[in-house]
Structure 1
Amino acid sequence: MSNNATGDATATPFAVRLLDTDTWPAFARLVEANNGVWGGCWCMGFHVKVGKGRTAEQNRADKEQRVREGRTHSALVFEGDDCLGWCQFGSPAELPEIKSKRKYERALTVLPDWRITCFFTGKGLRKRGVAHAALGGALAEIARKGGGTVEGYPEETDDRSVPGSFLHTGPMAVFEDHGFTRTRPISPHRWVVNLTIAPA
């Protein structure tokens, strides 16, 4: 996949590419330049529990192995040869660990086909529409793979200022800009949002 996407009318056009063995080096450069992402997660936190007992090196090795095996999916946003950020997506089986999971499961009736679990934009690269472009790329790939129900778990920021580190599940506005609707809250400021994507 190679699409041009913009966060808004004045943003620089970005190329959106999938995380695979070809794009892994650029992805890894961005992660390394940002302290392994959240102190060494390497975007593994929704695949497995990454707390005590797992090192950044283990997370990196596991992420790269999943990339080689096609068991992790992200839409990467590029400007030239540089990866600026991404949006991770996948099936519930691929991404079983979500925030506020206990409350989420309490009212769960049916699992979605797809989950949008996390976003990351490199330091100094924010407020340029990277998250918007990444989510658009993820949804385009989901459509290409047959579509279905898609869930996200964004943070609502309507009446408050929130540090970027709290927005790793995505800001609500980005999801709503892409047509997602709120279905139920699972924490004081986190919601389950839903969208059905038709096959491309």
Structure 2
Amino acid sequence: MSDYTIKALTPETFDDFAALVERNKGMFASCWCTHFHPDCAEKRQSAEGNRALKQRLVAEGIAHAALVYDGDQAVAWAEYGTPDELPNIHHRKEYLATTDQLPDYRITCILVERDHRGQGLAAAALRGAVELIADAGGGRVEGYPHDTGGVRKKNSSFLYNATRTMYEREGFSYDRPKGQGNCVMVREVAGRGARDSR
């Protein structure tokens, strides 16, 4: 893991993110990681349209991710943002009916390039997102991983937000189920001055 570094998704790192997405065929149905944004463009645009949307949102400072680098190449990421920036979570109706408060930030997608899986990079991406959230002031952070019961093996291609077990190892606590096979995990993250609130 010492050879891997974390960088924020910014206009300066967008081309590295784009290269990762292009190597992986645009990601889930060529969505370019726009699915959770308000415009949810992949339902009506081409991959090129989704790419342009993502680039615009990054330029406007309302699309965030922790990029994991192997040398000069981004090989994984964790998308995060405020509920206003990422409202389109799965099982949203159920989620809103069972929540007492919205988080300050949510982590909606974690992806590791196929050739780099099995090396702990999903956890590294999650830690990177938490660190960037701490830099931004911290707060209540939620993630929505797959709850596999710690037993059932699921194809990693379908684990768009990793597993409950991994979130638990990274200091998140189980809050409640969300949909079939997913759950809400919560962690209070201190702002950078106080370092880590675990």
Taking structure 1 as the reference length, the TM-score comes to 0.91
| Structure 1 residues 135-170: Cα deviation after superposition (integer angstroms, max 9, x where no partner) | 111111111111110000000122211111221022
Cα distance in 2 for partners of 1:199, 1:152 equals 18
Residue 50 (structure 1) shift: 4.2
Structure 1 regions of 5+ residues with no counterpart?
1-5, 7-11
Of the three residues 158, 171, 174, the one matched with 1:179 is 171
Q: Which residue matches 2:18?
A: 28
Q: Which residue matches 2:136?
A: 145
Q: Which residue matches 1:19?
A: 9
1:198 maps onto 2:176 in alignment: no
Cα distance in 1 for partners of 2:91, 2:41 equals 15
Cα distance in 2 for partners of 1:53, 1:39 equals 12
Identity across matched positions, percent: 39
Contact 2:107 2:141 in 1 (8 A): yes
| 1:49-128 → structure 2 map (5 Å cutoff) | 49-128=40-119
Residue 108 (structure 1) shift: 1.6
Residue 51 (structure 1) shift: 4.9
- Moved >4 Å (runs of 4+): none
Comparing both structures, which one devotes a greater share of its residues to helix? 2
Taking structure 2 as the reference length, the TM-score comes to 0.92
Cα distance in 1 for partners of 2:162, 2:41 equals 19
Residue 107 (structure 1) shift: 0.8
Q: Which residue matches 1:167?
A: 159
Contact 2:34 2:42 in 1 (8 A): no
Residue 186 (structure 1) shift: 1.1
Q: Residue 85 of structure 1: SS of its match in structure 2?
A: strand
Q: RMSD of the alignment, in Å?
A: 1.2
Q: Residue 30 of structure 2: SS of its match in structure 1?
A: coil
Cα distance in 1 for partners of 2:109, 2:58 equals 16
Cα distance in 2 for partners of 1:166, 1:122 equals 13
Cα distance in 1 for partners of 2:135, 2:51 equals 28
One-letter amino acid of the structure 1 residue matched with residue 188 of structure 2:
T
Q: Which residue matches 1:9?
A: none
Q: Which residue matches 2:145?
A: 154
Cα distance in 1 for partners of 2:137, 2:43 equals 37
Cα distance in 2 for partners of 1:13, 1:136 equals 15
Q: Residue 45 of structure 1: SS of its match in structure 2?
A: coil
Cα distance in 1 for partners of 2:145, 2:154 equals 12
Q: Which residue matches 1:3?
A: none
Residue 105 (structure 1) shift: 1.1
Cα distance in 2 for partners of 1:153, 1:63 equals 21
| Structure 1 residues 39-82: Cα deviation after superposition (integer angstroms, max 9, x where no partner) | 21101011033453222111100001111111110000001111
Question: Across the two proteins, how many residue pairs are aligned to each other?
Answer: 190
